[in-house]
A and B are shown apart, each in its own frame.
Chain A
Amino acid sequence: MSNHHISVTVNGAVQEADVDARLLLVHFIREDLNLTGTHIGCDTTHCGACTVLIDGKAIKSCTYFAVQADGAEVSTVEGLAQNGDLHPIQEGFREMHGLQCGFCTPGMMISSVALLEQNPNPTEDEIRWGISGNLCRCTGYVNIVKAVQYASEKMQE
């Protein structure tokens, strides 16, 4: 069993740690860094509750080892708001009632941010396609799509 020194930039701050090779990124984020906004839903790469950005790409952090993130930039839901101002995607979820229980919401927002980065003005189909790796058991997705549309408009203003 190997132990590794890693240096990961999480939401802009450099984090140094010694980790077991088998430590999953999601556990590193939640338990070592205490950033519990990133959720564990299925733990089997299906639900997307654990979605984070690695160097700008949205991935499922339950299916990635912390040691693999050495040298990378990780963004989690905690990094979205800046100086107390909500990110447009957060505002969108609030304004359009994009959540009920909220369990899927951090992952949904991170996937949406990645989508809007690639495609600032997506169609409804493109939004549904972009969040198709994130499951929501409550909303039926309609208001989530509206929340992403809200953010898209706001970010293009």
Chain B
Amino acid sequence: MIPPSFDYEAPTSVKEAVAILGKNPEAKILAGGQSLIALMKLRLASPEVLVDINKIEGLGYIKEDDGWLKIGAMTRESDLDASDLVRKKYPLLADTPRVIADPLVRNLSTLGGNLAHADPANDHPATMLAYGAELVASGPKGERTIPVEDFFTGPFETSLAQDELLTEIRIPAPDGKSGGAYVKMERKVGDFATAAVAAQVKLGNNGVVEQVGIGLTNVGLTPIKATAAEESLRGKEADQAAISEAAQLASEAAEPEEDPRGSVDYKRALVKTLTHRAIKAAVGRAQGGKS
């Protein structure tokens, strides 16, 4: 399948990319291309102009700075997977690329693309909801930050303007006894989630859950922040009963639809089980001193 014709531009700066996008309402950004090129082959997307941002220097990095983990939007899944810093201090983020697609796709697909694509089946959105991440968008008027809770506005829709680039993702650097985990059920390697759950916790010295974030993948039109589940766990010791209650509330927050991956009831039950496992793993990692 050959995609429809388009004009190809490969700007070398964010400013230039923004200018091209501003001039062409039918322009689209090409990052890893692992979602967009498939859509173009199927004629589900027919951009008049493709703005390849792979030639812009300096959009791929992973660094700690000012209390945040800052990740450039063009950071590939394979770079996240290979990062010692991520593996040591951000286990929830380390879990996520390992269950996305396959090694070939991960060599190209980007963190920015995974978020900007806003497919409810994408895995990073739930992870970023659990972390309480901030996203940096660059447009004609400069930069603005968007809390991740405000980013996903619908299936394949975000609060980015047409002439804005997602340039950076910021995760609050964990302190104290923090830990997280991403638990995904997939039918086979490379498949999108039947359901998946991201959990991030911080424990106080007395073992009580001080902070908690829970995100759900592919059980609604957008990724879901399971706020009732978070509230029920906050301030409590993460024992069996407290985790079970949070898992129950998370499954009630899910809005799955029946599809070849399963029925509504099955997916709800799955969210409950996966939430239980994710919180347990997150707490275990927090206790292990591994943030």
Chain A interface residues toward B at CB < 8 A: 1-2, 4, 20-24, 27, 43-46, 48, 51, 57-60, 63-65, 67-68, 111, 115, 129-130, 132-134
With a cutoff of 8 Å between Cβ atoms, the chain B residues found around residue A59 in the complex are 104, 107-108
Cβ contact of A2, chosen from B7, B101, B189, cutoff 8 A = B7
Report if B176 contacts A (CB, 8 A): no
With A63-B38, A64-B33, A65-B8 already in contact, the answer to whether A133 and B103 are too (CB < 8 A) is yes
Q: Contact between A129 and B6 (Cβ–Cβ < 8 Å)?
A: no
Q: Contact between B104 and A22 (Cβ–Cβ < 8 Å)?
A: no
With A21-B50, A68-B54 already in contact, the answer to whether A63 and B2 are too (CB < 8 A) is no
With a cutoff of 8 Å between Cβ atoms, the chain B residues found around residue A4 in the complex are 8
Cβ contact of A43, chosen from B1, B10, B50, cutoff 8 A = B1
With A59-B104, A59-B107, A129-B103 already in contact, the answer to whether A1 and B7 are too (CB < 8 A) is yes
CA distance A63 to B40 in the complex (A): 10
Report if B52 contacts A (CB, 8 A): yes
| A-contacting residues, B154-203, CB 8 Å | 189-190
Report if B41 contacts A (CB, 8 A): yes
Q: Contact between A1 and B6 (Cβ–Cβ < 8 Å)?
A: yes
CA distance A130 to B107 in the complex (A): 12
With A22-B6, A67-B8, A68-B52 already in contact, the answer to whether A132 and B189 are too (CB < 8 A) is yes
CA distance A46 to B101 in the complex (A): 9
Q: Contact between B4 and A22 (Cβ–Cβ < 8 Å)?
A: yes
CB distance from A123 to the nearest CB of B (A): 15
CA distance A22 to B6 in the complex (A): 7
Identify the closest chain A residue to B54 (Cβ). A68
CA distance A68 to B50 in the complex (A): 11
With A2-B7, A132-B189 already in contact, the answer to whether A64 and B104 are too (CB < 8 A) is no
CA distance A67 to B52 in the complex (A): 10
Q: Contact between A21 and B189 (Cβ–Cβ < 8 Å)?
A: no
Chain B interface residues toward A at CB < 8 A: 1-8, 10, 33-34, 37-38, 41, 50, 52, 54, 78, 101-105, 107-108, 189-190
A selection of 6 A-B contacts at a CB cut-off of 8 Å is A22-B5, A22-B6, A57-B107, A63-B37, A64-B108, A133-B104
With A45-B34, A64-B33, A68-B54 already in contact, the answer to whether A132 and B107 are too (CB < 8 A) is no
CB distance from B97 to the nearest CB of A (A): 13
With a cutoff of 8 Å between Cβ atoms, the chain B residues found around residue A27 in the complex are 2
With a cutoff of 8 Å between Cβ atoms, the chain B residues found around residue A58 in the complex are 103-104, 107
CB distance from A26 to the nearest CB of B (A): 11
Cβ contact of B104, chosen from A2, A24, A48, A68, cutoff 8 A = A48
With A43-B1, A68-B54 already in contact, the answer to whether A60 and B8 are too (CB < 8 A) is no
CA distance A65 to B38 in the complex (A): 12
Q: Which 7 A-B pairs have the closest CB atoms?
A: A133-B102, A21-B8, A1-B5, A133-B104, A2-B7, A132-B189, A57-B107
Identify the closest chain A residue to B188 (Cβ). A132
Cβ contact of B105, chosen from A1, A129, A133, cutoff 8 A = A133
CB distance from B35 to the nearest CB of A (A): 9
With a cutoff of 8 Å between Cβ atoms, the chain A residues found around residue B107 in the complex are 57-59
With a cutoff of 8 Å between Cβ atoms, the chain A residues found around residue B190 in the complex are 46, 132-133
With a cutoff of 8 Å between Cβ atoms, the chain A residues found around residue B8 in the complex are 2, 4, 21, 65, 67
With a cutoff of 8 Å between Cβ atoms, the chain B residues found around residue A67 in the complex are 8, 10
With a cutoff of 8 Å between Cβ atoms, the chain A residues found around residue B34 in the complex are 45, 63
